[in-house]
Amino acid sequence: MKAAREAVDLLIQAASSWQFDDALNGLRDREWMALRFLARANRFSRTPSALAQFVGTTRATASQTVKRLEDNGYVQRRSADQDKRSVILDVTPRGEKILASDPIAPFVHAIAALELGASNFRDLLRQILEQLDARKHRHHADSCRQCIFLTESASKRASRTQAEYTCRFFRADLSGAEVDLLCFNFEPWASTR
Ligand code: SF4
């Protein structure tokens, strides 16, 4: 238990990479968090409600954050193809540009340099999150590759062309690049929900 407690002490200090009082490059920490999420989320999760869930805030506060990102030209909204009443939030090229100076980058580089390996560290964090989710009756966003709804597209398998996938939850095709993005409808293989 001592090592676990010490690990938490260290993790809290590492969190100073993404939690700060002042603005950095004109954005507060929550705005960076929102922009970062929208750049990593798939088209089903780039919504105001998924953003509020990820940042851990109310829809109203998330809307204010989106408004600031839109005013800065970092995000633009559009209607969803299937349901014109639904909104999708896309990161603009200007938003992608400022993400090059994301204050979380040193933390990412530190993980990439771990002797343990970034993949192993990621898998450990995933295990911790799954335990926390089970206790709090919630679930986290994760990538399609971990999701029970992902299947490899049969037509693509047969033609042996570039791998493509299908989401059985949304009944939608997914490209190889999309399956590495975050989704809030993700369901883990060994679901504890
Ligand atoms: S396969 Fe799972 S994670 Fe991927 S889009 Fe579908 S529901 Fe979301």
Tens of pLDDT, residue by residue over 122-157, are: 999 999 999 998 888 888 899 998 899 999 876 655
Average pLDDT, the chain: 89
CATH class of 2-106: mainly alpha
Q: In angstroms, what is the span from residue 150 Cα to ligand 1's centroid?
A: 6
Cα 6 from Cα 130, distance rounded (Å)? 21
Atom of ligand 1 nearest to the CA of 170: 6
Gap between the Cα atoms of 88 and 171, Å rounded: 18
Tell me which residues have their CB closer than 6 angstroms to ligand 1. Answer: 42, 44, 144, 147, 149-150, 167, 169-170, 183, 185-186
Q: Classify strands 172-174 and 150-152 as parallel, antiparallel or unpaired.
A: unpaired
How do residues 34-53 score in pLDDT, each as one tens digit? 999 999 999 999 999 999 99
Q: What tokens appear for 42 in the block?
A: 């798939």
pLDDT tens digits for 15-24? Answer: 888 888 889 8
User: Domain spans of the chain?
Assistant: 2-106, 114-183
Please count the other Cβ atoms lying within 10 Å of the Cβ belonging to residue 172. Answer: 14
Q: Exposed, middle or buried, 116 (CB in 10 Å: 0-12/13-18/19+)?
A: exposed
- Per-residue confidence (pLDDT) for residue 155, from 0 to 100: 61
The residue to mutate among 40, 185, 187, having the most atoms of ligand 1 within 8 angstroms of its beta carbon, is 185
Helix (H, G, I), strand (E, B) or coil at 122: helix
Atom of ligand 1 nearest to the CA of 45: 8
For the stretch 10-36, what's the b/e string if a residue is b when 16 or more beta carbons lie within 10 angstroms of its beta carbon?
A: eeeeeeebeeeeeeeeebebbbbbbbb
pLDDT-above-90 percentage for the chain = 71
Quickly state the pLDDT bin for 79 (edges 50, 70, 90). Answer: confident
Span from the CA of 27 to the centroid of ligand 1 (angstroms)? 30
N- to C-terminal Cα distance for the chain? Answer: 27
Rounded CA-CA distance 1/28 in Å is 35
Nearest to 186 by CA among 20, 44, 13: 44
Whether 193 shows a pLDDT value over 70: the answer reads no
Q: How far is CA 140 from CA 37, 53, 58, 66, 152, in A?
A: 13, 9, 17, 21, 23
pLDDT for 192: 44
Measured CA to CA, the distance from residue 169 to residue 185 in angstroms comes to 8
Instruction: From the CA of 150, give the closest atom in ligand 1.
Output: 1
- 24 phi, psi to nearest 5 deg: -115, 125
